[in-house]
Structure formats: structure tokens, C-alpha cells
Amino acid sequence: MLKMLAGSGLSAVNVIQGRMTIGAVALLLLAVATRRSLRIHYRHWWLLGLYGVFTLSLNQVSYTFAITRLPVGITLLIEYLAPVLIALWIRFVRRTRLPGTLWVGIGTTLLGLALVSQVWTTMSLDVLGLLTAMVAAATLAGRFLLAEHGLRVHDPLVLTTWGACVGAVSLLPLAPFPFDRVDATDWFLLTWIGVVGMATAVLLSALGQRTISSTAASLISCVEILVGAGLAAVLLGELLTPVQLVGSVVMLVGIVAAQVVLARASGSRTQLPEAPELTPSRA
């Protein structure tokens, strides 16, 4: 969908602004419809601010800038180092030992991603592009880690709603939005990537993290690359090469292997409290 907006009169920043704002409105409407209490204690605003500005807005801006300086395959490979960063954080900051086979699963996933992205097709790397791609990786890792922390206090819908709202507001000063150059087709595409690509994806990720760890969630997020490749084949006629198909299988093997390891080790992990259903509260 993002590629289909490339021919519109919107800049990359405008697309991000539209996506974030529409996604935030969708989440806010869902929160109101399900009668969620959106009251937040002032002591928790720092987390929601970081979650919205750092892990949502900055992630999208840094990724978008990186692909203007680097091939998309290289950018994706660097951004999806997020599971490695999370594992390193857990090992050296939280001082929690991780099974050696987990690192094998992560490595296998990254190998598959490298094959899908075909990173060997270019050796021309831009320093600024590399730095912004690393920012994208750090912010993606931060999204899972902050969500894991925030979900101990907040309902997933409340966390993602306020995060998206704060993130959308933080993007407003970057550039004026050209409403006069947006036609019906552009609005449809923006609505799709806002509601499905942002709001639904972020909410489902937060809901999933009520029962799985940040490491597991970040690994599963790598499937996004395969889904994107499948949609590109259907909508844009961009078929995968045999090497990319092999890479897809390798990625899935790595993800499944890592999930099996994490599932076996989950007995020693403290589970989060049960998430409330997305139904109107009785309060």
C-alpha cells in the first residue's frame, strides 16, 4: 500500500502523518466504543510518551529516511536486528540467562531475512543510512520492551491508543499536510494503512504480549516481511525468486525453533495478568 502511494502528491512524511493520525483516531474510537477508561496517572505519562514518540513515530520516520539512503533489503535486515537487541538487553541489562538454542533460532531467522532481502545485490552502503536504520532497529526493540513494561499496568487498548495519539501529535510540526492534493484513492490507501497497517497491527501486538515475551513477539513480527512479499506478489506482480522462497522457509524455521525454545523456558517466567476483553466495561 505504501508503494501505491508513491505516485500521489504526498511526501513520505505526509504519508507517515496520515497513517499515524488515522490509526490513532481508529484506536480512540474503539476505546470509546468499548467504554475504556482512558485516565492515566501522571507518573505513567513518561512511558506513554516514549512508546508513542520513540517507538511509533521515530521508528517510522527513521525507517522511511533509511530506505532513501539504503536498499530496502539492507534496511529491513538492520531494522529486524530488533530481536537480537532485545535478547542482548535481557541478557546483560536484566542479567537473565537465555538458552543457547534461542540464539540459533534468532540467527536462522536473520539468515532467512537476508535471503529474502537479497542483501548481496548491492555493496554500496551509506553511513547516514546505516545510522538511521540502526535507530529503526532500536526503536522497534524499544516498542516490545516498553509494551512489556506498560502492559503490567495498562490495558492493551489504552496503551496503544494513547501511544498512537501522542505519536501522531509529535509528527505534526514536521510538515504541513496537503489536504488539497489528496484524492479519494489516496484517502482510501491512507485509511487502509492507518487502520490495518498501524492501529490493528500495534493493538494485536500488544494483546499478544500479554501471553508471550518481548523476544518472542519481536521474532514473530519478522513474519511481516513474508506477508509483505506475498501481498506485493498479488497486488503488484512482484514475484519472489527461488532464493527468496528458500529464505522464507528458513525464516519460518528460525521463528518456530525460537518459539519452541521460549515455550519450554516459559515456566520460569512470570506471566502478565490476564487482559480484559475488548467488550464494554460495566463500570
Give the residue with greater pLDDT, 265 vs 87.
87
- Highest mean pLDDT, choosing among 44-53, 76-85, 176-185: 44-53
Instruction: Please provide the distance, in angstroms rounded to a whole number, between the alpha carbons at the two ends of the chain.
Output: 40
Q: Are 1 and 189 in contact (CB under 8 A)?
A: yes
Contacts of 245 by beta carbon, 8 Å cutoff, 6+ apart: none
pLDDT of the residue at 147: 94
> What pLDDT sits at residue 16?
93
> Quick check: 34 pLDDT over 90?
yes
Secondary structure percentages of the chain, helix, strand, coil, to 5: 75, 0, 25
pLDDT of residue 55: 96
pLDDT at residue 272, as a whole number: 42
pLDDT in tens, 80-128: 888 888 888 888 888 888 888 888 888 888 888 888 777 777 656 688 9
Other beta carbons within 10 angstroms of residue 135's beta carbon come to 20
Nearest Cα to Cα of residue 24 among 170, 188, 139, 218: 170
> What rounded mean pLDDT belongs to the chain?
83
The total of other beta-carbon atoms located within 10 Å of residue 67's CB is: 20
Lowest-confidence pick of 154-168, 176-190, 239-253, 257-271: 257-271
Going from the C-alpha of 50 to that of each of 33, 229, 273, the distances in angstroms are 26, 30, 23
Mean pLDDT along residues 154-180: 95
Whole-number Å distance between alpha carbons of 1 and 7? 11
Q: pLDDT category, 129, cuts 50, 70, 90?
A: confident
Which range is least confidently modeled, 15-19, 34-38, 59-63, 122-126?
A: 122-126
Q: What is the C-alpha to C-alpha distance for residues 148 and 47, in angstroms, rounded to an integer?
A: 11
Question: Which range (83-92, 118-127, 167-176, 249-258) has the least confidence?
Answer: 118-127
User: Given a cut of 60, is residue 278 above it in pLDDT?
Assistant: no
Specify the amino acid at residue 236: L
Q: Cβ(50)–Cβ(152) under 8 Å? A: no
Measured between alpha carbons, how far is 45 from 41 in angstroms, rounded to an integer?
7
For the stretch 177-205, pLDDT in tens is 999 888 999 999 999 999 998 999 999 99
Instruction: Assess contact for 102 and 258: CB atoms under 8 A.
Output: yes
d(CA 21, CA 170): 10
Give percent of the chain above pLDDT 70.
Answer: 86
The per-residue pLDDT for 3 is 56
pLDDT at position 1 is 55
In the chain, at which residue ranges do the beta strands (DSSP E only) sit? none
Tell me, what's the pLDDT at 258? Answer: 80
pLDDT confidence of residue 123:
58
pLDDT above 60 for 283: no
pLDDT at 277 over 50: no
